[in-house]
Structure 1
């Protein structure tokens, strides 16, 4: 199926963009990595000192205790508070029964223990259990994204059904975000009369029908009945069905939008539109304006952009913010540091990464060089997509988010001003405003002349940042 995940460490999923399907298409069952050499640290004494400093900085941050206690599950409560909890296929960002599926409920009733990746002090992973039938299960998770995707997004408030759905996704190897996004799309189309009950194998697929959601997860995994179509994802399924169902697909570049209601946080809407692999909330991960890290925003981006840049409902300067966040996040991905601690909470920044690379790897690199590397990675990603036909027209969001005002909550009356933010983003990147493509000069300046020449020969590149 299209959105199959690569499972690792039993309960962790590399799930988005269907890379599990790619792995399966190659008849590849598993990848086993076993080291034979020692790991050498450039300066072990300095390294241990930096480990101590990093731990102290994280432990002293007010954000950390709740991250240890709840993991990402209490983001349900936070997103509800700011009106950013996708509900009923992103019709709105408020779910009346949010407290039934939130972090406190899981902590009190279902948590067995927090789980950490190797040597991590945050322990944001969860290990949970449901002891009652019909949803008896035990395993890793859930994360916020799954709680929302199989919960509020589908109008489901039975936490035990959601935990069972999480268990199914892990055991069947499904991307829970795309699974929930596809099911919630089908739910809305069913309620609107665009998909019939007969087409759904007799399922009464109303919002809130937990039994139907569970049955669909199994059907999707095994491509049985309607599951064969829904295993293609909502974008492809809607193209096949037609009848106006396309209007209700919440996607970017064919991938279901994650559990982020962008009308309540404009930067996240822009980040979803510009992400290299479709709707990917982690590519730029611009969460600093989400809960008001104003001092860190000032430190990272400059006081001249305040207060607008720190206001999640104000589109101004979000192009600059997303550009800077993307550049930093691809560096973080490259060095293998977690996004928690580097972006939320925003404790560590480029200078800390420079020090970490020096004492660990012996690399002589400075902040300016790291920023250049980040910008080069993003431009290389974009160049790849340009070769495959991606341009500004694809940096889009569903009309529900750009033309239909949020109906309730703190973001009531707001839409995502995408074109305004895209213009600013492209200017900050030095890309062509009309096409959204990197220019020849930009790629050359980043040491990507061979890529620029290739795209120029293909007729896919312009030399100027503005104009045709």
Structure 2
């Protein structure tokens, strides 16, 4: 095999049976691995209208086609399932060290069906898979449980472990799956699906080789990219205080041009994703005060505390995911925060800093460190948790929630103590936390009283911390993706950095254009969004990193790496067709399960309806209905309904039909 193992493992937790299945090369040529393989398997195995928390739902943990082949920046894995949060396709992307471990056990993916009678975990080594009792770690947080399971199963090599915390055990619809003591596949409610199956963990300790068609070719490509990244270093005299000024430059720009993304390497190496903490507030990229505020509300007296220098001052160790040469992560000391019991935490990402910073009008950085660690330990998505807290605060502010509803918490903007207690209640499903633990759509339906107007989501999923009124193409992806509300799919900024037109014949070329053109629905803008979607599927199917992709196709050579690993010798256009096929199958999954694509349209507030009255996005409105229709048209789906005109799996018989 060329990069892939050609096998997947099925585990039926209801009866304890396990089966290996071999796959043809045609499956990989059609869908790669990763998210594409997951879509192929789940489309054929999950019955229409299956209960996402029932035995018929399938949870898959899948590795990328390029992972472990010597390719650089390809260490990501994905959890896939029918999402209990949106009712349609669900996936969550994660870094760390777990992705190669899947393939070292001899599989491209491990898929779970059924519900165990008691808590269990799956252990796999070179001898094969075993289901083991997990009662002794059920109820423990992800760090405690990982340490116990690691010690129990460390024989010849350190095992790699993916597991859930208390949020997943309690089936919170905004819970995720954690590895490496804090890297989390956070979105789509994948942790709730794992918890519903009483599957605490997956422990992998295999050491099988991973093949590659052209090892020398992949080494050469990886070396070229790695050397470019190593040369990108931020001058020591430049500190985080310059970032708000950069935000002002972006805010004031009337024109947009293509950008050489390799320059981002120096900032990611220095600060990681918190580089956007203050820059995004000033530019308008960061949603503030539950998407109803601006930098005039969250001014310098607030955002200065989120200067990324203040974050890396606590960093004592850089963190690299598998095969990464950037190292945007880090481990930070927090033993002087709270009761001192939590000593370290993964450096909080920008998304967490914004969700528990400007979105809540909070300026207490120590609270963000503390929240980051308790969410990682509980396995709860920080984006959705922060957005849900913002919803609750606005409901409280407007009299929809009273103190009698909040268990006495004073839910006011920036009240750190109350926000921490609220998050703890959400994790434990106590009081109001039980209502909020399933995100804003479910909470607003239960609370009623007009609270829906403060529930900011797309198709049931809270959006990433990037404002669609700042970049309308973000709004398109928030609204048309088979898993909605996701900020990592694409945007105008991403398209201008990918520079796909250098290699893809149909991708519109960008030289320079007025920023205002991004707000006008057009076939060209829609085609850019389609290109984003197709490319995203390709690097998710390969195990690729978004931040590598954002350095541009001229630097991180995904198409060339795929050919070196597989020997397929396909053109970039042919690979983009694979990406389109993957995207269409994910959308077809939604149609099979009764999802109306129009129901995924983002909340009015995200589209600037009504528009903001102050700040850099003052008066901006996104014509999202027209933009959605043009995206569907250019994707080759029905322009009026969003239904694919051709289902890639129509009429095909799969070995998965009839169950595991």
TM exceeds 0.5?
Answer: yes
In structure 1, the partner of 2:462 is: 256
Identify unmatched segments of 5+ residues in structure 1: 453-468
Higher RCO (C-alpha under 8 Å, 6+ residues apart): 2
Alignment equivalent of 1:369, drawn from 574, 597, 602: 574
SS in 2 for 1:121: coil
**1:24 to 1:348, Cα distance in 2 relative to 1, 3 A:** farther
SS in 2 for 1:74: helix
In structure 1, the partner of 2:307 is: 102
- CA drift of 1:62 comes to 1.9
Q: How many residues in Structure 1 have an aligned counterpart in Structure 2? A: 441
In structure 2, the partner of 1:461 is: none
In structure 2, the partner of 1:76 is: 277
CA contact (8 A) 1:70 1:104 kept: yes
CA contact (8 A) 1:77 1:99 kept: yes
CA contact (8 A) 1:112 1:127 kept: yes
Corresponding position: 1:33 with 2:236: no
**1:124 to 1:310, Cα distance in 2 relative to 1, 3 A:** farther
CA contact (8 A) 1:406 1:414 kept: yes
SS in 1 for 2:332: strand
Measured in 2, the distance between the counterparts of 1:310 and 1:31 equals: 48
Corresponding position: 1:335 with 2:542: yes
SS in 1 for 2:396: helix
Corresponding position: 1:195 with 2:401: yes
Alignment equivalent of 2:321, drawn from 117, 125, 129: 117
Measured in 1, the distance between the counterparts of 2:452 and 2:405 equals: 17
Q: For 1:43-442, list aligned pairs within 5 A.
A: 43-60=214-231, 61-94=262-295, 95-96=298-299, 97-107=302-312, 109-134=313-338, 136=340, 137=342, 138-282=344-488, 284-286=489-491, 288=493, 293=497, 296=499, 299=502, 301-303=507-509, 307=513, 313=519, 315-316=521-522, 317-342=524-549, 344-348=550-554, 352-402=557-607, 403-439=609-645, 442=646
TM-score (norm 1): 0.88
Measured in 1, the distance between the counterparts of 2:334 and 2:374 equals: 13
In structure 2, the partner of 1:462 is: none
In structure 1, the partner of 2:183 is: 12
TM-score (norm 2): 0.63
Deviations 1:371-422 (A, max 9, x none): 1110001000111111222234213121223311123222211012101211
- CA drift of 1:308 comes to 5.3
Measured in 1, the distance between the counterparts of 2:518 and 2:329 equals: 27
Over the aligned positions, Cα root-mean-square deviation in angstroms equals: 2.3
**1:337 to 1:297, Cα distance in 2 relative to 1, 3 A:** closer
CA contact (8 A) 2:463 2:478 kept: yes
CA contact (8 A) 2:337 2:366 kept: no
Measured in 2, the distance between the counterparts of 1:256 and 1:323 equals: 22
